[in-house]
Chains A and B, each alone.
Chain A
């Protein structure tokens, strides 16, 4: 088989019918361009959502879960008799949110490999009093330098600063939306009440915005000791330990390890953000379904054109066979045409796809202050482009193969005899 020669014939055939070739090519171009745009955009959205979830939440969070699924006293007593005990509406035990030896755990975990940072927190439900109304929220006592390392708090600040928490034990940093609801500014006083009745008046030293509604709306930060004071607890009282890893994907196994080692509840980010991960999966499936549909449509276009091509070229095929071209040569001639169409159309599609993605990535996208986005999230990755080209080629080769095989099976005698 002489590929060079087959290529030369394929090229001549394609160039002789430029318009037909172009139409077939544009089918692939359109399919691949859409594939690139869809995947770049969808993955951009995925990445954005994942980032914003990961940014604002710990990779692993250790806390005491309120658990009603404890064995009842009945079970303890009648265990051995093989009876079935049913206790309706079992109430949770009075249990402390305290993590035992929390501070020691923090310093131990900090030493473990792969850990980026550990931050202890005391958090509690709280009511913010603004005149006659109460707004509920969460007050978190933090160790500012540690928490800042985890969440890059300084970059989220809108007014004031987190650092003032160190200097001012009665300072509080409020979520931007919460501050607006309370109608307070820097320097104003806020009265905070806990569900158990503790009350304290704090001075606003800053406001922050994560760009995530559920955080900016309800969360505020103050120092650990302040929260311990409102709750009436000692200095070793810790309710949460937040951990960030160097690699978020390691968090899942690391969480399990910690949970076993310290016999506490450790929740990793994938459990806490299942909705986001599920959304990601759905978007991925959607992207592939739509792109595949486009490519299959383009494939049928090529199939039709190649089929017509073979029918138009029956005489030529007979001549080639009569002069000594074998069936493999004939398959090569027509398959190469499909491959050339696929490759040229595909490359053009990649270019156009890149152009559209680029335009999309600089298009202003105003979402208000709930979401920290200024333009559409688009990801540029070589893999997507390689994938697009490979898919395009596979489609065209499949679409070109069947007409080519048909061409190779043509009986030259029937055509040459006329």
Chain B
């Protein structure tokens, strides 16, 4: 019996610009520990909006969100930031590394923020994560000098550094070629199955979605299958 790590109940979300419009309508679903979940749907169906609500960065919604047994709805921005730091990892479509920092520093930053380990331990752990994504050879390079695929792998290493419960991806392969996409998929697969970390990704890539454990399909702000 695997436990539930994320539960979304009755999520409603409105956009007010240019006019009031309901993006998400009564979304209910839960995600189990170690599950590799993909959310698919056409552009504008609200899947990214849903992901950012799940990520706690968007707090302007109706409904209730529980992650890892704690109620996140209604917490202050700073408490949510601390929660993200410890329990959530992110991989975005456009890599989003800090360009002035080295690869190693980029991976280390969230752990330094968490402050659970000494700098030396954090560095060891960062190397470990970079090894997992096969980027340890580039650790000392300036992150802006890397290719897109390489940056995305570093971003995954950064998402993993604090051993988060859930890793969220917003089109993590959206900007990558087939070879790099496969590489990213393999890494995700590995961390979900071997480490028991939950993965929630929004994707347009049907192959990527099919390889996971479950697919939620959305249309016009509603879950039409897989919820």
Contacts and interface: CB of A to CB of B under 8 A. Distances in A.
Interface of A: 2, 5, 8-9, 12-13, 15-16, 315-316, 318-329, 412-413, 416-418
A-B pairs with the 6 shortest C-beta distances?
Answer: A324-B85, A16-B100, A326-B81, A326-B78, A323-B110, A324-B84
A416 B170 contact: yes
Interface string B89-114: 01011101111110001000110111
Contacts of A316: 98-99
B81 A324 contact: yes
Contacts of B83: 324
B114 A418 contact: no
Nearest to A416: B92
B201 to A, nearest CB: 14
A411 to B, nearest CB: 8
Nearest to B55: A322
Contacts of B58: 413
Interface in B65-97: 77-78, 81-86, 90, 92-94, 96-97
Contact of A327 (B48, B57, B77, B94): B77
A413 B57 contact: yes
A324 B110 contact: yes
Interface of B: 48, 52, 55, 57-58, 77-78, 81-86, 90, 92-94, 96-101, 105, 109-110, 112-115, 158, 170
Contacts of A9: 109
A418 B86 CA distance: 25
Most buried by B among A327, A413, A418: A413
Nearest to A321: B81
B59 to A, nearest CB: 9
A331 to B, nearest CB: 11
A12 B100 CA distance: 7
A8 B104 CA distance: 14
Nearest to B93: A418
Given A5-B112, A319-B97, A322-B84, 13 more contacts: A2-B113, A12-B105, A322-B55, A322-B57, A322-B90, A323-B85, A323-B110, A323-B158, A324-B113, A326-B78, A327-B81, A328-B78, A412-B57
Contacts of B57: 321-322, 412-413, 416
Nearest to A319: B96
A325 B57 CA distance: 12
